[in-house]
Each structure stands twice: as structure tokens, then as C-alpha cells.
């Protein structure tokens, strides 16, 4: 039976690998060894602790251009890296002018995405994975030519709430400038209401269109139950509740802040003259909520505009299905895409989703409480039945983002520094433009169907892998995306313009590189979700580390003589150029094959 009971005992290497792959982009041999000695409580304490950012916002690399200031052409020179979202130098010779006139909004978007990825690959906590989970729920895609300063604020809002108050986050997202702009909330006014955000608030962000099943007290399906969660009346009335919030896209620094407790981030302005203060009546699906007409003796217009939204959110969150809907999303993101809901297979819905949702509601929608319960559970570690190797561990296909960032981490790949290059002279282009834009985004993520935060064509539901059943994560791996996934190693790791020494990688992660069996045992243990069988390891040995014949060469009377001799020659005081080249090429082909393997492509 699927169980939310906590896993007991130390994790060991196998379960430590599983936990780290699912909760972090920072997946390394050293972290596996660290977490292998933890129990689940100790492991979650580490993952829930905040990690230090390398940079708290993107920077722009030096450049120059001519801009027109007050009718006069002025040469602008940025000679050192500078922030361009907060704390930028003062105009007219400061960075604000360079950002607005020498960059272009698309470049700003690229810088922002690169900055977030670089911080995520370094992050030792659960925050980056949880922030990205919230993006998949409250999806507001990056427009191709959008204002990246507002998108930075949106990401910081998700990060601020990623392990705290989901209920408050729903309100803050509702009045966030990026979300208002994306779903036309900024033009939702009395007498001309726009229903886009109201519809997505119900359909995608909170309760979902309908229940997958309705269960009775005994956990059995109720036949012919009404599975809908709301109707058009609720969309229409919600749109009226949401009228009157907007912002000036050219005035970010003048916008009100949402308070230190909420991240101290820009939020929308209230325009009471554009708000519908009349009575709103919701359907029985939302508890027949009535929001009475505004009474000026009870509160100010501004207070009323906020309280109406909070009353609506309270009514939505009061429905049991809301917590279940979010818990299903958490389950599919962190555990398994499969939640069977047939009459003869209700185990996950009954034993995991329903009790987890009750815990979520009882905690007043605290994300740390619910995610901790899930990640500590026997079920998460596939330890709640006698079949411990066939359900959860290795049961998800890596997203392109996971594939890229976890590979960079586990190989200790030397990503160009965002501040200074090896010569100590800042160029920045190697980091933001060459590495993350040209090689990661353009050559891997976009052709793999995961531009990190979407683009102008991405729908509010986000990427199909996160919402579209029954395929879900299988959509990451199809005829149109497979080549970019496989070409990642060639286009990035072994491109030769970046510093990655495959022999160093093997020596750092293998205790005895002279022994092919040790190489394959320790590399597959590092890279694969489960330990490889001997026949699987032999396949790689025979293909890459052995020069024909059988594994035991009777002429030499010991196995693997070809690799032994080659490695010994390589480690001698004066290896030949050919030996160095052969060892490098063989290990390059081996590591590339391991990264291509179906085992490594799963998590």
C-alpha cells in the first residue's frame, strides 16, 4: 500500500542520489556522499536551508553605443560589469541608459534566463526546484520582447514564497504586474471586464476544471458524481472581483511595494474608478459565496478591492479539490507522472493525494509542510511495498533543463564566469551570450522544446510534460527533440571551446581508472538512477575499453589487458602524444555513451 509514513534509517547512496536528482539541479558525487549518511529529517533540513546566491541579479557586460539624450548624440561606455535591474548607476552616464538603448529587450531576457540557470546549478537547497515548480503552476511565459525587469520581479516573487505561504502567493500573483500584463488583468475594468485571468485562476492555478474521481468515505468511487469544480458564473463574477488593478510599464520604480514580508517587490496600482463595487454571487461550486456591495463605512475603496480578492481566494481554497489539485501537481513534478484513477486502482489518489491534501489544508497551505511530508515518505523512496525498483526511482524522464544543469554539476563543468574570464579581464559574453544563450538555450533548450521560461507562443498551461496526460514527461523525448538532447554532450561538453577534461572527470570520480570494471561500476553508480547490471557494464567495457576478443584474453592470461596497458602508458612519466590522444578519445566516447543512455536520460 502506498504510504506517506516517513522513511526510517539512513539514506545510503541509492536513495541519496534519488533525493538529490528530484530536488536539486546541483547533483554531484560529493553531495551524494554527504547525503548518504543522513536520515530523511537531516536531509530535508539541509535542502530547506537557504543557500547563498552568487549574484542576486543579472549583470550586463561592458559595451558602448551612441544614444540620443535631450536631442544630443552621446557616446555611452560601460567599462565594467553592472547590475541593470536594481541598484544601477545613475543616468545619464550610468547603466540605465546602456540597458535601455544599447541592449534591446531580447538581450535582457537572455541575460535574465542565463543568470537564473547559473544560480540554479549552484543552488544546494530545494529553492530553485520549488521555484520552477511554481512557475509550472502559475505559468507566465517570458515574452520574446518583454520587459525583463518585471519578469525578474515575478521570479523573485515565486522564489520568496516557494517554501512558505501558497495561499498568500495566490493573492500576490494575482496583482503581480507580469501576470496582469500576460493575462490582460491590466485592462480588466468595470463595464468592460476581461475574463482571461479569472478563467486561468480557476482552471490552471488553483482548483482545476474537474475532479478526476469523487471518492466516498471508504475511498471508493462515487458513480455518476458531478465532477465539475466551477461554472461560467464563477468565471464571470471572479472577473468582476479582479477589476481595477493595473500598472504603468514605464514606471516600475514608482510602483508600490508588496511589503517586506512578501518580498518587498513591485506590485500593481489600484484604480477604484475602474473597479466594480457591486454585489457578486458565486455558484454552489464555490460555496454560494456572496460578496456584498461595497459599504464605504466599513472600509476604504482600496481595502475593499484587496479584501474582495482575498474572499474569492478563501472560497476557492475552502474547496477540498483545490488542495488535491495542487498536491497532484507536486506529485507529478517530484514523484511520478502516473496517478491511476480507475476503479480497480485508486491507490495513489486514496493513500497519497487525499491525505497529503488534508495536511496541506490543515497547515493553511504551507508549502514547506506539504513538500516535506511528501519527500520524507516511504512512497517517495519507493519503500512502501516489496517491489522497490519498478515505480518511482528512475521513473521520470529528465526535462531538458534538468539534463543540462545536472550534467554541468555532476561533471564539474567549468562554466565561464559571469564577472571575469581566466585572464582577469571581464568580457561577460563568454558567460551570458556564448555559453548560456548560444550553446545552452539556442542549441539545447529551445530545440528540446523547453525554452526555460517559455516564450510568446507558450500557453498559460506551460509545457505539456507538466499537464498533458497520458504522455506527460514522455513529450520531452520524441522525434523532434531527441537530437538536441543527444547533441548536448557534443555541442557543450566536448566542444573544445570550453574547458572540460574528460580524463580529469574520470579520475575525480573513479577510485581506480586502470580497472574497466571499476570505471563502469562507479560511473554508472554516479550517473544512473539504479545500479547497472554486470551485463550492462560489460556492454560499455566491450564497446569502449576493450580491443576485441573476450573479456578474458587467454594469450595474456588476465582481463582487460588493452586498457591496462594503455592506461599504464598514459600514467607513465612521458606518455606519447598518441597515448594521450587515445585515452582522451576512448573516455570521451565512453562518457558520451553513458550520457546518451536511457538510464541517464531518466531520473
* pLDDT tens digits, one per residue of 212-252: 989 888 888 999 899 999 999 999 999 999 999 999 988 88
CA distance 462 to 511: 43
Give residue-wise pLDDT tens across range 103-150.
Answer: 555 577 888 999 999 999 999 999 999 999 999 999 999 987 777 889
CA distances from 135 to 10, 156, 403, 432 (A): 32, 11, 18, 22
Q: Alpha carbon of 527 to those of 444, 458, 573: distances in Å? A: 20, 32, 32
List pLDDT tens digits, range 355-409. 999 999 999 999 999 999 999 999 999 998 766 545 899 999 999 999 999 999 9
CA distance 1 to 6: 14
Beta bridge partners of 602: 397
Grid cell, residue 18, equals 534519488
Rounded Cα distance, 510 and 29, in Å:
10
Please give the torsion angle defined by the CA atoms of residues 501, 490, 14 and 21, in that order, rounded to the nearest 10 degrees: 110
Q: What grid cell was written down for 554?
A: 587467454
Structure confidence at residue 501 as a pLDDT band (50, 70, 90)? very high
Q: How many residues does the chain have?
A: 603
- 533 or 423: which leads in pLDDT: 533
Residue pair 519/545 in contact (Cβ under 8 Å)? The answer is yes
Model confidence pLDDT, tens digit, residues 434-472: 899 999 999 999 999 999 999 989 999 999 999 888 889
C-alpha grid cell, residue 351: 493513500
Question: What pLDDT, on a 0 to 100 scale, did the predictor assign at position 421?
Answer: 56
CA distances for 372 relative to 40, 119, 378, 492, angstroms: 9, 23, 12, 35
Residues pairing with 264 in the sheet: none
Amino acid at each position: 500500500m502506498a504510504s506517506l509514513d516517513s522513511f526510517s534509517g539512513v539514506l545510503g547512496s541509492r536513495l541519496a542520489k534519488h533525493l538529490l536528482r528530484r530536488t536539486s539541479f546541483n547533483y554531484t558525487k560529493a553531495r551524494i556522499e554527504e547525503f548518504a549518511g543522513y536520515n530523511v529529517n537531516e536531509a530535508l533540513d539541509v535542502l530547506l536551508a537557504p543557500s547563498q546566491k552568487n549574484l542576486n541579479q543579472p549583470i550586463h557586460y561592458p559595451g558602448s553605443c551612441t544614444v540620443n539624450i535631450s536631442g544630443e548624440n552621446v557616446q555611452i561606455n560601460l567599462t565594467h560589469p553592472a547590475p541593470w535591474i536594481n541598484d544601477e548607476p545613475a543616468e545619464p552616464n550610468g547603466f540605465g541608459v546602456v540597458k535601455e538603448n544599447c541592449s534591446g529587450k531580447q538581450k535582457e531576457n537572455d541575460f535574465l534566463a542565463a543568470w537564473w540557470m547559473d544560480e540554479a546549478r549552484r543552488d544546494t537547497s530545494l529553492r530553485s526546484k520549488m521555484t520552477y515548480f511554481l512557475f509550472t503552476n502559475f505559468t507566465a511565459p517570458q515574452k520574446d520582447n518583454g520587459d525583463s525587469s518585471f519578469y525578474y520581479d515575478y521570479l523573485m516573487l515565486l522564489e520568496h514564497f516557494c517554501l512558505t505561504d501558497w495561499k498568500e502567493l495566490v493573492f500576490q500573483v494575482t496583482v503581480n504586474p507580469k501576470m496582469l500584463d500576460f493575462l490582460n488583468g491590466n485592462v480588466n475594468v468595470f463595464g468592460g471586464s476581461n475574463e482571461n485571468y479569472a478563467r486561468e485562476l480557476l482552471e490552471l492555478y488553483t482548483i482545476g476544471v474537474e475532479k478526476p474521481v469523487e471518492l466516498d468515505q471508504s475511498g471508493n468511487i462515487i458513480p455518476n458524481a458531478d465532477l465539475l469544480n466551477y461554472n461560467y458564473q464563477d468565471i464571470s463574477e471572479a472577473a468582476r472581483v479582479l477589476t481595477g488593478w493595473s500598472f504603468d510599464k514605464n514606471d516600475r520604480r514608482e510602483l508600490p511595494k508588496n511589503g517586506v514580508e512578501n518580498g518587498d517587490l513591485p506590485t500593481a496600482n489600484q484604480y477604484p474608478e475602474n473597479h466594480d463595487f457591486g454585489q457578486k454571487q458565486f455558484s454552489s461550486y464555490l460555496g454560494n459565496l456572496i460578496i456584498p456591495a461595497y459599504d464605504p463605512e466599513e472600509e476604504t475603496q482600496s481595502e475593499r478591492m484587496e479584501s474582495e480578492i482575498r474572499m474569492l481566494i478563501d472560497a476557492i481554497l475552502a474547496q477540498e479539490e483545490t488542495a488535491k489539485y495542487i498536491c497532484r501537481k507536486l506529485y507529478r513534478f517530484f514523484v511520478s507522472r502516473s496517478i491511476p484513477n480507475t476503479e480497480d486502482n485508486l491507490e495513489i489518489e486514496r493513500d497519497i493525494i487525499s491525505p497529503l491534501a488534508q495536511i496541506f489544508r490543515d497547515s493553511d497551505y504551507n508549502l514547506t509542510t506539504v513538500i516535506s511530508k511528501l519527500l520524507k515518505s516511504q512512497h517517495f523512496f519507493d519503500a512502501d511495498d516489496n517491489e522497490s525498483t519498478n515505480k518511482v526511482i528512475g521513473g521520470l524522464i529528465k526535462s531538458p533543463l534538468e539534463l543540462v544543469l545536472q550534467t554541468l554539476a555532476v561533471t564539474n563543468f567549468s562554466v565561464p564566469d559571469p564577472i571575469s574570464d581566466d585572464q582577469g579581464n571581464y568580457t561577460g559574453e563568454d558567460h551570458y551570450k556564448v555559453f548560456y544563450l548560444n550553446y545552452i538555450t539556442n542549441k539545447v533548450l529551445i530545440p528540446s522544446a523547453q525554452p526555460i521560461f517559455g516564450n510568446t507562443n507558450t500557453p498559460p498551461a506551460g509545457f505539456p510534460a507538466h499537464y498533458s496526460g497520458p504522455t506527460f514527461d514522455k513529450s520531452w523525448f520524441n522525434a523532434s527533440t531527441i537530437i538536441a538532447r543527444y547533441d548536448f554532450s557534443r555541442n557543450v561538453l566536448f566542444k573544445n571551446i570550453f574547458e572540460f577534461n574528460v580524463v580529469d572527470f574520470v579520475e575525480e570520480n573513479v577510485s581506480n581508472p586502470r580497472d574497466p570494471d571499476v570505471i563502469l561500476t562507479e560511473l554508472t553508480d554516479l550517473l544512473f538512477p539504479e545500479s547497472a547490471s554486470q551485463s550492462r557494464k560489460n556492454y560499455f567495457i566491450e564497446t569502449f575499453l576493450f580491443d576485441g576478443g573476450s573479456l578474458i584474453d587467454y594469450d595474456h592470461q588476465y582481463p582487460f589487458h588493452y586498457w591496462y596497458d594503455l592506461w599504464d602508458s598514459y600514467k607513465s612519466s612521458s606518455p606519447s602524444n598518441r597515448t594521450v590522444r587515445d585515452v582522451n578519445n576512448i573516455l570521451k566516447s565512453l562518457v558520451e555513451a553513458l550520457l546518451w543512455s536511457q538510464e541517464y536520460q531518466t531520473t
